Structure 1
Amino acid sequence: MRKYLFGTGLLSAITGGITLLRSMKNDEPFTWRTALAWLSWGITLALAIGSVVDSYRGARGKLIAGDSPVDRDEVFAERIKRKR
């Protein structure tokens, strides 16, 4: 489970969120640029979590969506290698 939680996509999304939170400490007004930054961060976090879920499901031999960036053949080859 550790390899899923400490993936680069998830870590970069978390650090991006921390950066946005730190920028909110300043007494600047909430503008449309700030709203877009938060929206972008939310999308990035959702994609990172989706990638983790697809990797986890693929490693367990469950169905993965066709539009997933996870390579099914690579996941199954890794799973077969672990069984040996």
Structure 2
Amino acid sequence: MRKYLFGTGLLSSITGGITLLRAARSDEPFTWRTALAWLSWAITFALAIGAVVDSYRAARGKLIDGDSSVDRDKLFRERVKRNG
């Protein structure tokens, strides 16, 4: 489970969110650029979570969406090799 939670996409998304939170605490007004930054962060976070879910499901041999970039067969072979 550790390899999913500490993936680079998820960590990047979390650090981006922390940066946005720090910027929100300043005295700057909320502008349309700030709204777009938050929207961009939300999309990035959702995609990172989706990649983690797809990797987890693919490693267990379950079906994943066709548009996923996860190589299901590779992850399943690694799991079979690990478990003997």
Normalising TM by the smaller chain, what interval? Answer: over 0.9
- Where 1:26 maps in the other structure, the secondary structure is coil
Aligned residues: 84
TM-score (norm 2): 0.95
TM-score (ref. length: structure 1): 0.95
Which residue in 2 is equivalent to 1:73? 73
Q: CA RMSD in A?
A: 0.8
Which residue identity lines up with residue 34 of structure 1 in the other structure?
T
CA distance in 2 between partners of 1:35 and 1:76 (Å): 40
Distance 1:78 1:64 in 2: 17
The reply to whether residue 56 of structure 1 matches residue 45 of structure 2 is no
Contact in 1 for aligned 2:51/2:70 (Cα 8 Å): yes
Deviation at 1:76, TM superposition (A): 1.7
* Runs (5+) with no aligned partner, structure 2: none
Q: Which structure 1 residue ranges, 4+ long, deviate > 2 Å from structure 2? A: none
Cα distance in 1 for residues equivalent to 2:31 and 2:65: 37
